[in-house]
């Protein structure tokens, strides 16, 4: 049976299902009324989980080790089995800097996730409003136990030999460039 969970991360609450659970991912799209052409991001507990689902270049590994856990999403080439399940050649992966989220991801494995909201609306960020709207649509909703940031993650594409910052968040382009300059 598919299992859809709602849990807090270091940014906003996420709604997620195992990356291997196609039915759970389908339910997320239905619950949110989300366009199937908008891919879900994948939260992982550690680098090993990322390597299980994505191709990690030496540059990507250095960037991941520097900036994760934290509010950075890396776009990486998906491994063949994940391409088949998710129907996309690349995936956005991130390790949240949240004790509870990491505990869930360690137990459940990599999870396809997105923010908790109706597609196109502002993300919901309190347990009460989330529970009142989604309690009967998911298997479990976890209460927030840590402070989070509502700032979106920085998005870095590392699908090729170099990198490109697609969206700047808490981690700035300058911070990434300064770190990459130390690698040569």
Q: Residue for token digits 């997620």?
A: 16
Is 3.40.50.1950 the CATH number for 5-181?
A: no
What is the residue-level pLDDT of the chain in tens, covering all 184 positions?
679 999 999 888 999 999 999 999 999 999 999 998 999 999 999 999 999 999 999 999 999 999 999 989 999 999 999 999 998 999 999 999 999 999 999 999 999 999 999 988 988 888 999 999 999 999 999 998 777 666 778 999 999 989 999 999 888 999 999 999 998 7
Which residues fall within 8 angstroms of residue 9, CB to CB, at 6 or more apart?
A: 43, 96, 98, 101, 113, 148
* Cα–Cα distance, 98 to 68 (Å, whole number): 11
Indicate the pTM of the whole model: 0.93
* Cα–Cα distance, 74 to 107 (Å, whole number): 22
Query: Do 91 and 7 form a contact (C-beta atoms < 8 A)?
Result: no
Domain ranges for the chain, please list them: 5-181
Tokens for 68, please give them.
Answer: 């994760």
């Amino acid at each position: 049976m598919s299992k859809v969970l709602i849990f807090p991360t270091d940014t906003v609450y996420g709604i997620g299902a195992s990356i291997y659970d196609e039915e759970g991912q389908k339910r997320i799209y239905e619950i949110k009324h989300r366009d199937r052409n908008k891919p879900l991001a994948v939260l992982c507990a550690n680098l090993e989980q990322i390597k299980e689902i994505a191709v990690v270049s030496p540059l990507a590994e250095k960037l991941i080790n520097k900036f994760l856990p934290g509010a950075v999403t890396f776009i990486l080439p998906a491994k063949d089995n994940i391409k088949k399940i998710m129907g996309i050649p690349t995936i956005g992966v991130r390790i949240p800097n949240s004790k509870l989220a990491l505990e869930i991801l360690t137990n459940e494995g990599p999870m396809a996730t997105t923010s908790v909201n109706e597609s196109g609306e502002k993300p919901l960020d309190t347990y009460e409003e989330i529970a009142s709207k989604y309690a009967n649509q998911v298997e479990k909703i976890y209460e927030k136990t840590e402070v989070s940031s509502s700032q979106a993650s920085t998005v870095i594409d590392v699908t090729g030999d170099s990198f490109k910052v697609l969206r700047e968040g808490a981690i700035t382009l300058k911070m990434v460039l300064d770190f990459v300059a130390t690698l040569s």
